[in-house]
Structure 1
Amino acid sequence: MSIKLVIADDDALIRESLKIILANDKEIEVVGIFENGKDVVKFLLDNTVDIALIDVRMPLVNGVIATLEISEKTNTKVIILTTFDEDEYIRDGIKNGAKGYLLKNTKPDKIIETIKMVNQGNCVIQDEILIKLSNNLGKEKIKESNIHESIFTERELEVMKAISEGLSNKEISKALYISEGTVKNYITSIFQKTGLSHRTQIAIYYIKGYDFSHS
């Protein structure tokens, strides 16, 4: 079965371009395009759709608020389109249940790949976005109580932070002066404690957990 998808963006050129690009993939069916968050939410409440590709900045209802309503009231998975100057929107989008984040200049094949991965149940955030969020996260004060009450060891937290910064296992082993095997063991422990199954999910969990005080 094809992946039923809607596109919401207030820029007509982007909407139409995405529709043409995505419709060329045999596994994707574009069932609607919208210019504001209010209309796309209304459509999704009345129709069964797999993926919603949503711009952050839209009239009437922005992408972040639309994401919350879609996540709470439908089974549609949201992928947010963003730009580098929208950190606050990105973090609020994570909090509101978005499953994917793409920069607007992402290549078509990457957009298609992300849509398919999210449809399969994965969370996907581009490395550039993760790194930017992590850098900004490091500038913000983290409450000591959050760390002390954590289910994770100090080393596990270091590994999670490194993953959120986009480091590979090899890079983490060098940064923390431990073997790659030990890194894998820590990641396995993190998976077991969180019920997660993918590195990107760990990054999202870390950013959510400490940026939003586990909300």
Structure 2
Amino acid sequence: MNTIRVLLADDQGLVRAGFATILSIEEDIEVVGQVTNGQEAVDFAAANDVDIILMDVQMPVLDGIRATEQITAAGRGKVIILTTFERDDYLFDAIRAGASGFLLKNADPDDLVAAVQAVAGGYALLAPEVTLRVIERFAHHLESEAPAPVAKQPSAGQLRQQSLLALLTQREKEVLECMAAGLSNAELARKLFLAEATVKSHVSSLLAKIQVRDRVQAVVFAYESGLIRPGD
């Protein structure tokens, strides 16, 4: 059994202690470090073997979003952003920075453990409450950026996204639509009457075709490519 090596990055000692206690109970998880700001997280990840970084957003010296950007760009671990409803305006930037998951700080202990295990296993994860808010924010962003109703040629980026979207089979498009709605693989399997192994195969295939690294980026692609439109 491979041990998942976790770094805790949060400027609140009680939060770090609580997460460390929850995670240390698990046989397959080891908390290898605790840091108090984003720069310390970047430095620790660069010097140590870390699989998952649980990253707070608001921290001194270097915030969690900039730290996430540096860590993921260097390939030094996968980041799960810890957030609260009051500060979820950071989430869109965190997606762009390469975060693989979002978890509310008041999540149940079992959800924290499941999130670490899921992301370590190659999945992306959004807390259900966060999924809706990220999608709503992204939809609002698209609406605010909508061009005036005049004839306009699509940009090179839009043409590329449309060409990638055209590579998907109808079933893969259905799977992507369900992913954008926040459904897990198990929920997808029930909705589409497929085996969960088949769903996993479809997810892997469509991620490769649209050239994104995880489910979070796939949701962004679904909106930017026009497969999902605000209000759908």
TM-score range, shorter chain: 0.7 to 0.9
1:204 Cα deviation after fit: 3.4
1:190 Cα deviation after fit: 7.4
Contact 2:92 2:138 in 1 (8 A): no
Contact 1:7 1:53 in 2 (8 A): yes
What amino acid does structure 2 have at the position aligned with 1:207?
V
Q: Structure 1's 212 and 88: CA in aligned 2 closer, same or farther, altered over 3 A?
A: farther
SS at match of 1:86: helix
Question: What is the RMSD computed on CA atoms of the aligned residues?
Answer: 3.4
What amino acid does structure 2 have at the position aligned with 1:38?
Q
Residue from 144, 163, 181 that aligns with 1:165: 181
SS at match of 2:98: coil
Q: Distance in 2 between matches of 1:212 and 1:104?
A: 32
SS at match of 2:31: strand
1:83 Cα deviation after fit: 1.2
What amino acid does structure 2 have at the position aligned with 1:136?
R
Q: Distance in 1 between matches of 2:77 and 2:160?
A: 36
Which residues in structure 2 correspond to 1:170-185 (within 5 Å)?
none
1:97 Cα deviation after fit: 1.2
Q: Structure 1's 188 and 46: CA in aligned 2 closer, same or farther, altered over 3 A?
A: closer
1:122 Cα deviation after fit: 1.2
Structure 2 residue runs of 5 or longer lacking an equivalent are 148-153, 227-232
What per-residue deviation string (whole Å, max 9, x for no partner) do you get for residues 42-78 of structure 1?
A: 1111111111111011111111100011111243111
SS at match of 1:5: strand
Alignment length (residue pairs):
201
Q: Structure 1's 47 and 85: CA in aligned 2 closer, same or farther, altered over 3 A?
A: same
TM-score normalised to the size of structure 1? 0.77
SS at match of 1:122: coil
Give % identity.
30
Contact 1:6 1:31 in 2 (8 A): yes
What per-residue deviation string (whole Å, max 9, x for no partner) do you get for residues 115-147 of structure 1?
A: 111111111111211111112222232658338
1:28 Cα deviation after fit: 1.2
Q: Distance in 2 between matches of 1:16 and 1:189?
A: 39
Contact 1:37 1:58 in 2 (8 A): yes
2:89 alignment partner in structure 1: 88
Structure 1 residue runs of 5 or longer lacking an equivalent are 174-179
1:176 alignment partner in structure 2: none
